[in-house]
């Protein structure tokens, strides 16, 4: 018997013996010696047929393996099952116990740039979190991001950034709503982008914690060649337990096993909702592990008036492990309904948060000063009154950024406008 060709995927191993037209899939394997095995053989048309029902076995238990061999030999006598199962048992256990491979680091990489799945907000193969209170259009924003990556469309563009994707397959895991909700949202977003085709991406209704369902997720990620996973939302996907830190750690360990980019949606503590327009971050609800383990985090602030068919958001970069934080990103979402009140399309575009009295509060004081001085020079006292800040704070900021602001005597102005 020749050794098989082995293909290692996310959470599974494929053993192929061409001389027997045999493929054995080992999945859900662990270093205690347990694995689930499935046996396939190609028929005359080349299609794989399942030879035996999926079997969970202890690869270290000789009586169990012998029993499985006898069961297989009853119907397929031309295959050396003892040799096959002996090889699979030893190799699967070896791979399970060796863990992730060791790599040498220290050489100059091909590029020093951080690679993004969706520039500049989703770092490739790393976890990113977007959080806010409920009702802040997180799911719409996530569906929009999914469309950009899946269908290779440029997204929101302003004077600082344009959202540029590396295209690939997206998987949306949903603990919050239904497939009907997402079908409606995604179709409306596609209409807003000008995508008038039946192209889709996979969606999965979820109810178990991510860590408990990770083997199934791993299989989907591998079979569908998923590059971006969206989790809606973390509070439900984490599950529950006596130790919130441990629960959050299990969630991020499960994400890490998938080896793909992930976007997690999360909520904030309800007791903090009244502060949602303040510049200070609320932080995602729960353990500090969420902040520590997520590679990059964005908070959403919202401005919307009753009966308006649009909302404006500020996407505020609160954490990034690589490089500097982005300036707050202004996003306007327009909802277009037909005469019957049915949603027809949703359009995302950039907006200037300095023009929004509520959202402008999330800008740095320097940026807010630039905004009010764009209309002309002003005394420090007037700036302090307009921004509701102490004069000393205003004066200190102006003096700290003399590359931007210029003292004109009784008034200050922008250096770019200095005559």
pLDDT at site 361: 86
pLDDT digits (tens, 9 = 90+) for 186-242: 999 999 999 989 999 999 999 999 999 999 999 999 999 999 999 999 999 998 888
Which residues is 331 bridged to in the sheet?
313, 350
SS3 (DSSP) at 121: coil
Q: What is the mean pLDDT of the chain?
A: 91
Least trusted range by pLDDT, from 122-131, 159-168, 179-188, 268-277: 268-277
Segment 296-313 shows an average pLDDT of 93
- Reduced to 3 states (helix: H, G, I; strand: E, B; else coil), residue 318 is strand
By three-state DSSP, how is residue 150 classified?
helix
The residues, ordered by sequence, that sit 6+ positions from 179 with a Cβ below 8 Å of its Cβ are: 203, 205
10 Å CB burial of residue 395 (0-12, 13-18, 19+) is middle
Please answer whether residues 231 and 209 qualify as being in contact, where contact means their C-beta atoms are separated by less than 8 angstroms: no
Residue range 57-71: average pLDDT?
95
* φ/ψ (deg, to 5) at 303: -130, 120
Is the pLDDT confidence value at 272 over 80? Answer: no
What is the DSSP annotation of 5-30?
EEEEETTEEEEEEGGGTEEEEEES--
Q: Tell me the two tokens of residue 152.
A: 């290779």
DSSP state letter for 72: H
**In this structure, are residues 258 and 10 in contact, taking their beta carbons and an 8 Å threshold?**
yes
Residue count (the chain): 419
Closest CA to 132 of 254, 255, 260, 304: 304
How big, in percent rounded to 5, are the helix, strand and coil portions of the chain?
Answer: 35, 30, 40
Find the mean pLDDT for residues 39-53.
87
Largest interatomic CA distance in the chain:
98
Q: What is the pLDDT of residue 281?
A: 57
d(CA 163, CA 149): 10
Residue 233 preceded by cis peptide, ω within 30:
yes
Q: Are strands 226-232 and 169-174 parallel, antiparallel or unpaired?
A: parallel
11-15, 56-60, 118-122, 415-419: least confidently modelled range: 415-419
Beta strands 12-17 and 5-9 are antiparallel
User: Do the Cβ atoms of 150 and 199 come closer than 8 Å?
Assistant: yes
Alpha helix (H) residue ranges in 279-328: 289-293
Q: Is the pLDDT of residue 127 over 50?
A: yes
Distance CA 13, CA 28 (A): 10
In this structure, are residues 214 and 254 in contact, taking their beta carbons and an 8 Å threshold? yes
Residue 376 zone, left/alpha/beta (φ > 0; ψ -120 to 50; rest): left
pLDDT band at 1 (very low <50, low <70, confident <90, very high): confident
Torsion, Cα of 389, 391, 392, 396 (10° steps): 80
pTM value > 0.95: no
Mean pLDDT of 4-17: 93
Q: What is the pLDDT of residues 369-417, one digit of tens each?
A: 988 888 899 999 999 998 889 999 999 999 999 899 999 888 999 987 6
Please give the full DSSP string across 175-230, using - where no structure is assigned: SSS-HHHHHHHHHHHHHHHT--S-----EEE--S-TTTTHHHHHHHHHHHTEEEEE
pLDDT score, position 91: 96
Condensed to tens digits (0 to 9), the pLDDT of residues 346-359 reads 999 999 998 888 89
Q: Report the pLDDT value the prediction gives residue 282, as an integer from 0 to 100.
A: 64
pLDDT at 24: 96
More confident residue, 335 or 284: 335
pLDDT of residue 276: 45
pLDDT for residue 280 is more than 60: no
Give the pLDDT band (50/70/90) at residue 3.
very high
pLDDT in the model for residue 388: 87
């Amino acid at each position: 018997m020749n050794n098989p060709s082995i293909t290692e995927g996310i959470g599974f191993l494929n053993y192929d013996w061409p001389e027997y037209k045999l493929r054995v899939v080992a999945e859900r394997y662990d270093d205690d010696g347990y694995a689930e095995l499935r046996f396939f053989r190609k028929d005359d048309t080349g299609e794989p047929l399942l030879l035996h029902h999926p079997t969970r076995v202890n690869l270290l238990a000789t009586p169990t393996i012998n029993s499985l061999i006898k069961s297989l030999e009853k119907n397929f006598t031309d295959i050396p099952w003892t040799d096959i199962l002996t090889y699979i048992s030893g190799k699967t256990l070896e791979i399970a116990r060796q863990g992730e491979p060791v790599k040498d680091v220290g050489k100059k990489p091909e590029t020093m740039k951080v690679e993004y799945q969706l520039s500049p907000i989703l770092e490739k193969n790393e976890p990113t979190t977007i959080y806010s209170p409920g009702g802040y259009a997180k799911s719409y924003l996530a569906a929009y991001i999914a469309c950009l990556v899946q269908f290779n469309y440029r997204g929101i563009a302003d004077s600082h950034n344009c959202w540029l994707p590396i295209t690939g397959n997206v998987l949306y895991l949903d603990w919050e709503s239904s497939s009907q909700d997402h079908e409606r949202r995604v179709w409306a977003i596609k209409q807003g982008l000008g995508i008038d085709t039946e192209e889709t991406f996979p969606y999965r209704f979820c109810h178990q914690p991510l860590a408990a369902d990770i083997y199934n997720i791993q299989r989907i990620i591998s079979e569908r060649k998923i590059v971006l996973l969206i989790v809606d939302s973390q509070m439900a996907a984490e599950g529950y337990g006596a130790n919130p830190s441990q629960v959050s750690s299990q969630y991020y360990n499960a994400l890490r096993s998938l080896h793909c980019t992930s976007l997690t949606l999360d909520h904030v503590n309800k007791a903090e909702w009244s502060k949602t327009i303040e510049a200070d971050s609320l932080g995602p609800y729960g353990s500090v592990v969420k902040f520590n383990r997520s590679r990059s985090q964005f908070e959403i602030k919202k401005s919307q008036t009753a009966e308006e068919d649009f909302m404006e958001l500020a996407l505020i970069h609160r954490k990034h492990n690589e490089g500097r934080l982005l300036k707050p990103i202004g996003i306007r979402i327009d909802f277009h309904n037909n005469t019957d009140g049915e949603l027809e399309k949703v359009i995302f575009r950039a907006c200037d948060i300095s023009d929004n009295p509520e959202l402008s509060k999330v800008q740095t004081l320097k940026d807010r000063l630039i905004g009010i001085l764009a209309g002309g020079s002003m005394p420090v006292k007037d700036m302090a009154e307009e921004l509701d800040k102490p004069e000393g704070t205003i004066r200190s900021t102006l003096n700290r950024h003399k590359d931007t602001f210029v003292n004109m005597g009784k008034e200050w102005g922008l250096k770019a406008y200095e005559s």
